[in-house]
C-alpha cells in the first residue's frame, strides 16, 4: 500500500509539472497573438478565457453577424414551429458547450470586476430574472463585445 501511495504522489508531481509547462506555453502564445491581446482588453476576460474563445471560435469571419455567433454558443433560444404551434424559448439541441461555459464564466467574473456589468446584472435581477437567466443575458452581451472586438481588431475601451 505504501509503494502505491508513493507511486501516485510521483505521478501527481509529474502531471503538475507538465501542467505548468503547458500553462507557460499558452501564456507565451497569448503574448504573441494579437487577437488574444484584444480579447484580454475586455474586463472579465483573462488568459484562459481568451485562449478558450480563440480555440473554439477559430475565425470570426465565418459568422456573418453576432447573432449567429451567439446561436453557435447556445446563448439564443430557438424558435420551433410545427403547423399552428409555435414554441419560443426552446433550448437548442446543437451548440458549442465549451463556448457557452466560457461566456458564462466571463459573465460571472465580470459581475465582480466590472461595475457596468454588475449594474446590468442587477437590472436584470430587478426585472425578476433568476441568477442564471441574468447571467445568460450578460453572457449574451459579452458575445456582442467579443464579436465587435474581433471583427474591428480594436481594443475594448
| Sole residue written with cell 463556448 | 99
Taking the C-alpha atoms of 156, 118, 88 and 63 in order, what is their torsion angle to the nearest 10 degrees? 10
Distance, in Å, from the CA atom of 52 to the CA atom of 109, rounded to the nearest integer, reads 15
The three-state secondary structure class of 149 is: helix
Distance, in Å, from the CA atom of 58 to the CA atom of 67, rounded to the nearest integer, reads 17
Whether this prediction's pTM lies above 0.75 is answered by yes
Average pLDDT of the chain to the nearest whole number? 88
**What are the pLDDT digits (tens) for 8-55?**
999 999 999 999 998 888 888 888 888 888 999 999 898 889 999 999
Amino acid at each position: 500500500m505504501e509503494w502505491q501511495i508513493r507511486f501516485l504522489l510521483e505521478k501527481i508531481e509529474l502531471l503538475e509539472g507538465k501542467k505548468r509547462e503547458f500553462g507557460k506555453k499558452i501564456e507565451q502564445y497569448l503574448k504573441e497573438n494579437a487577437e488574444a491581446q484584444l480579447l484580454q482588453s475586455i474586463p472579465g476576460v483573462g488568459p484562459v478565457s481568451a485562449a478558450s474563445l480563440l480555440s473554439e471560435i477559430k475565425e470570426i469571419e465565418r459568422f456573418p453577424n453576432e447573432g449567429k455567433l451567439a446561436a453557435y454558443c447556445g446563448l439564443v433560444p430557438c424558435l420551433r414551429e410545427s403547423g399552428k404551434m409555435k414554441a419560443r424559448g426552446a433550448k437548442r439541441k446543437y451548440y458549442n458547450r465549451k463556448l457557452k461555459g466560457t461566456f458564462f464564466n466571463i459573465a460571472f467574473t465580470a459581475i465582480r470586476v466590472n461595475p457596468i456589468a454588475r449594474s446590468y446584472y442587477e437590472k436584470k435581477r430587478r426585472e425578476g430574472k433568476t441568477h442564471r437567466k441574468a447571467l445568460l443575458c450578460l453572457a449574451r452581451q459579452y458575445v456582442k463585445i467579443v464579436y465587435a472586438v474581433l471583427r474591428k481588431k480594436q481594443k475594448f475601451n
